[in-house]
Amino acid sequence: MFHYHCLNPISGKGLKLFSEDYQKVDQLEESEAVLVRSAKMTEMDIPASITAIARAGAGVNNIPLDECSKKGIVVFNTPGANANGVKELVLAGMLLASRDIVGGIEWVEHNDSQEDIGKLAEKKKKEFAGCEISGKKLGIIGLGAIGAMVANAAVHLGMDVYGYDPYISIDAAWNLSRSIHHATSLEEIYSQCDYITIHVPLMDDTKQMINPEAIDQMKEGVVILNFARDMLVDEKALVAALESGKVKKYVTDFANPVVAGVKGTLVTPHLGASTEESEENCAIMAVKEIRDYMENGNIKNSVNFPECNMGICSAAGRIGIIHENIPNMISQVAKTLGDEGINIADLTNKSRGENAYTLVDVESAVSQEVLEVLGAIPGVIRVRAVK
């Protein structure tokens, strides 16, 4: 029996995919697997019982990855599961930035008691006029699941789309419309585009990538959209650019004191993935990842350990070994099993940076004593009998 705990409400459409071999528990300390959305695990003492954490969403900045890696806890996310919900909000953001739709709605609300509101509206509407997005140039930084969907949708809306992503995957490239211009540099995006939207992860080399130098290269009156992470943008510099008129609008999904209420900003309260469909898709993917790891030892969509898939075990047993990415590890594992009279039926080893993962199918049952001997090998972080 496996035990799991939900730190946030998780869609029932995902949770119902757990088999009768899984039991939901109320205490974190009683669980082997955790499902989380926004809860700040960085402020928690993660118990030793935890084997896997699945984030029902893409970002994992609320999870202490270094600590999890050191403890041998595999952290999963759900890339692409909420992509359509974010894509639709990005498109809405472009439309809201192009015309003063919000201002027009607020004007009507403030004048709803006027008997001649229809006539007043005809006189007032020019103050809320704007432009169409068709024919405008859209620059997309990052062509992952969300960026690619935004790109394809924008093409269908008649926009001239420029995409920049030096690390684009083959699958993502295949999914892109042929009409998209593949920019060879960020400078090309900055200098050519009327709208710029960011869809990259927050890392050391992307933090505040939209900074004063980047803004200086942009067109006058550019619209910048940020539905990825607020720290990708130097927002103090952005506010200054709004005040000078260099930037026409800043549309962001991250409310904070720097941008909230600033003239020229359109700030939503982190609504990107807040749709019923996105929450269901994320939950379904998260549960499938947890089950495949707990039952088969396979790793898919982990942010701290390598991808590894050996399918369903048909041998007598399977062992999962999380260890440091150091030489001579496989030979030590093989020798240990050989010394115990256990024959290896199949083996795969994958690495990712400083971390590595080995799955071993064996032709006889493995005792707790053997697992402890494997766990004592220098560099081994965690050993688990999968089957």
Sequential pLDDT tens for the chain (387 residues): 999 999 999 999 999 999 999 999 999 999 999 999 999 999 999 999 999 999 999 889 899 999 999 999 999 999 999 999 999 999 999 999 999 999 999 999 999 899 899 999 999 999 999 999 999 999 999 999 999 999 999 999 999 999 999 988 887 888 899 999 999 999 999 999 999 999 998 889 999 999 999 999 999 999 999 999 999 999 999 999 999 999 999 999 999 999 999 999 999 999 998 999 999 999 999 999 999 999 999 999 999 999 999 999 999 999 999 999 999 999 999 999 999 999 999 999 999 999 999 999 999 999 999 999 999 999 999 999 998
Cβ pair 287, 15 in contact under 8 A: yes
CA atoms within 13 A on the CB side of 364: 8
Question: Which of 282, 276, 360, 274 has its CA nearest to residue 322?
Answer: 360
3-state DSSP of 147-192: HHHHHHHHHHCCCEEEEECCCCCHHHHHHCCCCCEECCCHHHHHHH
Do 35 and 56 form a contact (C-beta atoms < 8 A)?
yes
**Proportion of the chain in helix, strand, coil states, percent, rounded to 5:** 35, 20, 40
Rounded Cα distance, 21 and 48, in Å: 21
Rounded-to-integer distance, Cα 51 and Cα 132, Å? 51
Nearest to 124 by CA among 139, 109, 138: 109
pTM: 0.84
Q: Among all chains, which residue has been given the structure tokens 């009768």?
A: 20
In contact, 140 and 155? CB cutoff 8 Å: no
CA-to-CA distance for 215 and 244, rounded, in angstroms? 12
> Residue 264 contacts by C-beta under 8 Å, 6 or more apart in sequence?
242, 243, 247, 248, 249, 250
3-state secondary structure of 291: helix
Phi-psi region of 297 (alpha: psi -120 to 50; beta: other; left: phi over 0): left
Within 10 angstroms of residue 43's Cβ, the number of other Cβ atoms is: 8
Distances (CA, A) of 227 to 125, 205, 373: 29, 18, 48
